């Protein structure tokens, strides 16, 4: 099990990004389905982290509209 800080280091993203993903039910289900919250802290299984590519693009995830090629 990894902390949010350890997961962030492995994925080369900020710890804040990990926390945002964990607090969003859809993102958590997609990225860290087996993560467990203990009080204010999270424990993330290494298997969940290892299946994700490292160096994920920074910033907000694309919205459904932008994925479909919607005009701005």
Give the model confidence (pLDDT) of 10-38 as tens digits. Answer: 888 899 999 999 988 888 888 888 999 98
pLDDT of residue 68: 58
The Cα 52–Cα 13 span in angstroms is: 12
- Evaluate if residue 69 carries a pLDDT over 90: no
Q: Which residue has the tokens 């902390």?
A: 3
Q: Where are the domains of the chain?
A: 4-52
DSSP-assigned states of every residue in the chain: -B-HHHHHHHHTS-HHHHHHHHHSHHHHHHH-TT-EEETTEEEB-HHHHHTSPSSPPPSSPPPHHHHTT---
Mean pLDDT (whole number) for 40-57: 81
Q: What are phi and psi of 40, to 5 degrees?
A: -100, -5
d(CA 42, CA 35): 7
pTM of the model: 0.66
């Amino acid at each position: 099990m990894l902390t949010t800080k350890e997961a962030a280091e492995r994925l080369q993203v900020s710890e804040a990004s990990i926390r945002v993903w964990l607090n969003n039910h859809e993102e958590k289900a997609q990225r860290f389905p087996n993560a467990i919250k203990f009080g204010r802290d999270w424990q993330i299984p290494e298997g969940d982290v290892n299946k994700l590519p490292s160096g994920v693009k920074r910033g907000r995830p694309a919205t459904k509209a932008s994925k479909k090629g919607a005009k701005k």
